[in-house]
Structure 1
Amino acid sequence: MFRKIALACTAMLTVAAKPLPAPPEALAAIGARIDAECAEGRFSGVVIIRIRGREALQRSCGMADIVNQVAVTRYTRFKIYSVSKYITALTVMALVENGALSLDQPITTYIADAPAEWSGVTLRMLLNHTSGIDDLTLPLLYHYRSDHPAAMRDLFAALTPGERALKSAPGIARRYNNFGFELLADAAARATGTPFASLVEQMVFRPAGMRSASIEPPLIEAGHLVPVSEPGLANGYNGERGALSEAVNWAFVQLGAGAVRASAADFIALDAALRQGKIIGPAMQAEMIRNPVAPPDGKAGAAFGLGVAIQSPRGTAMIGHTGGTNGYITDFQRFPDEDAMMIVLSNRGTTRTAWMYDHVAAALIAAR
Structure 2
Amino acid sequence: MKRFALLAAFLAALPLAGIAGPAPSPERQIDALFAPWNRPGMPGALVAVIRDGKVVLTKRYGMADIERGVPMSPSAEFFIGSMSKQFTAFAIHLLAKDGKLSLDDDVHMYLPDVPDFGRKITIRNLLHHTSGLRDYFDLMAMAGLRPGDVIDEDKALALIRRQRTLNFEPGQEWDYSNTGYVLLARIVEHVAGKPFPEFARERIFVPLGMTHTLFQQDYRTLVPGRVLSYVPADSDGFRLAPVNISMAGDGGVLTTLGDLALWDRNFYDGRVGGMDVVRQMQATGVLNDGKPIAYASGLLVYPYRGLRLVEHSGGAGGYGNQLWRFPDQHLSVMVFANTADIDTYHTVRKVADMFLDRVPGAAPAEPMAPAKTFKEIRLDPARLDALVGFYATSPQSGITFTKENGRLMALGMGFPKMPAFPYGERDFFARVTASRFSFDPPGPDGIVAGGILHWGEQDIPATCTTRPMPSAAELKRVEGDFYSDELHVLYSIAGKDGDLVLTYPGGTVTLGFNGERDYETGFGTLKYQCGTDGCTGFTISTERARNVRFTRVALAPSSR
Give the shorter-chain TM-score range.
Answer: 0.7 to 0.9
CA gap of 1:358–1:249, structure 2 versus 1, over 3 A, is: closer
TM-score by length of 2: 0.54
Q: CA deviation at 1:335?
A: 1.1
Gaps of 5+ in 2: 1-7, 17-22, 361-560
Partner of 1:267: 260
CA gap of 1:118–1:179, structure 2 versus 1, over 3 A, is: farther
Structure with the higher helix share, 1 or 2: 1
Q: Where has structure 1 moved over 6 Å in runs of 4 or more?
A: 140-147
CA distance in 2, matches of 1:62, 1:212: 22
Q: What one-letter code is carried by the residue in structure 2 that aligns with 1:130?
A: T
CA distance in 1, matches of 2:34, 2:337: 14
Gaps of 5+ in 1: 1-17, 220-226
Q: CA deviation at 1:32?
A: 3.5
Q: CA deviation at 1:33?
A: 3.2
CA gap of 1:229–1:239, structure 2 versus 1, over 3 A, is: farther
Contact 1:79/1:261 (<8 A) preserved: yes
CA gap of 1:236–1:51, structure 2 versus 1, over 3 A, is: same
**2:19 matches 1:20:** no
Q: CA deviation at 1:35?
A: 4.2
CA distance in 2, matches of 1:125, 1:287: 14
CA distance in 2, matches of 1:146, 1:354: 26
Q: CA deviation at 1:325?
A: 4.3
Structure with the higher strand share, 1 or 2: 2
Of residues 322, 327, 333 in structure 1, which corresponds to 2:313? 322
**2:242 matches 1:252:** no
| Aligned residue runs from structure 1 range 151-162, under 5 A | 151=155, 154-155=158-159, 159=162
More off after superposition, 227-236 vs 196-205: 227-236
| Aligned residue runs from structure 1 range 202-217, under 5 A | 202-217=202-217
**2:243 matches 1:243:** no
CA gap of 1:52–1:192, structure 2 versus 1, over 3 A, is: closer
Contact 1:133/1:180 (<8 A) preserved: yes
Contact 1:107/1:119 (<8 A) preserved: no
Q: What one-letter code is carried by the residue in structure 2 that aligns with 1:48?
A: A
CA distance in 2, matches of 1:107, 1:183: 8
Contact 1:50/1:341 (<8 A) preserved: yes
CA distance in 2, matches of 1:267, 1:146: 26
Q: CA deviation at 1:54?
A: 4.0
Partner of 1:33: 32
CA gap of 1:165–1:28, structure 2 versus 1, over 3 A, is: same
CA distance in 2, matches of 1:202, 1:135: 29
Q: CA deviation at 1:214?
A: 1.0
CA gap of 1:140–1:282, structure 2 versus 1, over 3 A, is: farther
- Residues 126-146 of structure 1: per-residue CA shift (max 9 Å, x gap): 111110111123667989999
Q: What one-letter code is carried by the residue in structure 2 that aligns with 1:21?
A: L
CA distance in 2, matches of 1:313, 1:307: 18
Contact 2:38/2:62 (<8 A) preserved: no
Q: What one-letter code is carried by the residue in structure 2 that aligns with 1:232?
A: G
Contact 2:38/2:44 (<8 A) preserved: no
CA gap of 1:67–1:293, structure 2 versus 1, over 3 A, is: farther
Contact 1:75/1:265 (<8 A) preserved: yes
Of residues 346, 360, 366 in structure 1, which corresponds to 2:352? 360
Q: RCO higher in 1 or 2 (8 Å CA, sep ≥ 6)?
A: 1
Partner-residue secondary structure (3-state), 1:248: coil
Contact 2:300/2:312 (<8 A) preserved: yes
CA distance in 2, matches of 1:128, 1:29: 39
TM-score by length of 1: 0.80
Q: CA deviation at 1:55?
A: 3.5
Partner-residue secondary structure (3-state), 1:344: strand
